[in-house]
Amino acid sequence: MLKLDVYNAEGKKVSDVELKEEIFGIVPNEAVVHSVVVNYMANQRQGTQSTKTRAEVSGGGRKPWRQKGTGRARQGSIRAPHWIKGGIALGPKPRSYSYRVNKKEKALAVKSVLSSKVAGEEIVIVDKLELKEIKTKSMAKVLNNLKVEGKALILLPEQNKNVQYSSRNIEGVKTRVVNSMNAYDLLNCNKIVLTLDAVKKIEEVYA
């Protein structure tokens, strides 16, 4: 079993916790992580970009000059793609970029990233995160006590408005509930802050 130190909000070690190796100690599968992250980013795309074809550009309904006898190349419309202000040939149209990935792949990707973060000593475990009020300064102080700097992801077992709202104005800090975490968010941070209850929840969900 893996063992990690557990700290309180003041940054002092209070105990340690054993982590399940089948979740936090596997050999990371980089190919699956890449596949799942690409899928996540594709699903975030809005796909609203659009260009006009020659049929959609206004004007150009009349043949610009007669077919023969002018010495110029024959033309049917001034809105053909090779004309200035003409339509766009093969341009983008609104579409959905989303596609689905197997649930087992998503779970394996999450386990792989968590395992790599444990190996890289990028996971900080706190006994509990409780704030009496919504105050950014209080949350910043807790993170400073835990020596968490730069991009950080705080994983909570359930919704906690005081913690979530106190964190949202701190640059680089994100909060996620365990049920909504994904491989991209786990990968895109320097430190992951977990509460003991969040660890239990992860082990319940991914065991």
For residue range 60-113, list pLDDT tens digits in order.
899 999 999 999 999 999 999 999 999 999 999 999 999 999 999 999 999 999
- For 23-64, the pLDDT digits (tens) are 999 999 999 999 999 999 999 999 999 999 999 999 989 999
- The continuous run of DSSP H or E covering 2 comes out as strand 2-7
Retrieve residue 78's tokens.
Answer: 């001034």
Domain identity same for 55 and 133: no
Q: What is the percent of the chain where pLDDT is above 90?
A: 87
| Residues 173 and 83 both lie in one domain | no
Q: Residue 102, SS3?
A: coil
Task: Share the mean pLDDT of the chain.
Answer: 93
CATH of the domain at 17: 3.40.1370.10
* CB 97, CB 45: distance < 8 Å: yes
Q: pTM above 0.85?
A: no
Whole-number pLDDT of residue 28: 94
Domain hosting 58: range is 51-91
Q: Where are the alpha helices (DSSP H) in the chain?
A: 21-24, 30-44, 103-119, 136-145, 161-167, 183-187, 196-206
Contacts of 165 (CB under 8 A, 6+ apart): 134
